[in-house]
Amino acid sequence: MSVAAIGIICKAPQPGRSKTRLATAIGEVAASELSACFLRDVATAIEAAPEALGRRGYGVYAPAGAEHIMRQLLPAGFGLLLQAGDDLGYVLFGATRALLDADGENRRDHKRDHESRHVPAQLDAEHLGGV
C-alpha cells in the first residue's frame, strides 16, 4: 500500500519566535501557547484520516534545534523534517522534495502502479524534472 505524506509547515512554538505579530496583541507566551494548540489541532486532523487510506504526518519545522519541542507536540507516529531555508518558496519546495523522498518505497509503488497514485500529477517527481 502506498502512503500519503502530509506535512505541517510550522515554527516550533517558542515565546518571541512564533506568532510574533499576534504576540504584540496577546503577549509572547500566550501566542506560543496558541501556536502549540494550532499544531496539535492540525496533527489531530491528520491522524483522523483512516490508516487504511495510507497516511503519515510530518512536522516540517524551524528553527534547527527545536526537534524536542516538536516531538512533545506531535503524535508519536509523525516524522520530523527540518525546513530548508528561510524563504517560504524554498521551504515549500524543500518540503515537497523531502516528503516525496520520505519513503522511497512509495515512489517505487507509484511508478509501478499509476492507477493508485499517492501524489497528484502536478507534484509527481517525473513531472517536476526529477525533484
Asked if residue 130 is part of any domain, the answer here is no
Asked if residue 38 is part of any domain, the answer here is yes
Please give the backbone phi and psi of residue 79, each rounded to the nearest 5 degrees, phi first: -90, 165
Asked if residue 129 is part of any domain, the answer here is no
Of 58, 54, 45, 67, give the one whose Cα is nearest residue 102: 58
pLDDT in tens, the chain (131 residues): 678 899 999 999 999 999 999 999 999 999 999 999 999 999 999 999 988 888 899 999 999 999 999 999 999 999 999 998 889 999 999 999 999 887 554 444 444 433 333 444 444 444 444 44
Asked if residue 131 is part of any domain, the answer here is no
The predicted pLDDT at position 103 comes to 59
The predicted pLDDT at position 50 comes to 86
| Cell digits of residue 63 | 528553527
The predicted pLDDT at position 4 comes to 87
Give the domain extent around 52.
4-123
How many domains are there within the chain?
Answer: 1
Asked if residue 34 is part of any domain, the answer here is yes
Asked if residue 61 is part of any domain, the answer here is yes
Burial of 55 (0-12, 13-18, 19+ CB in 10 A): middle
The size of the chain, in residues, is 131
- pTM of the predicted model as reported, rounded to 2 decimal places: 0.74
| Cell digits of residue 125 | 517527481
Asked if residue 128 is part of any domain, the answer here is no
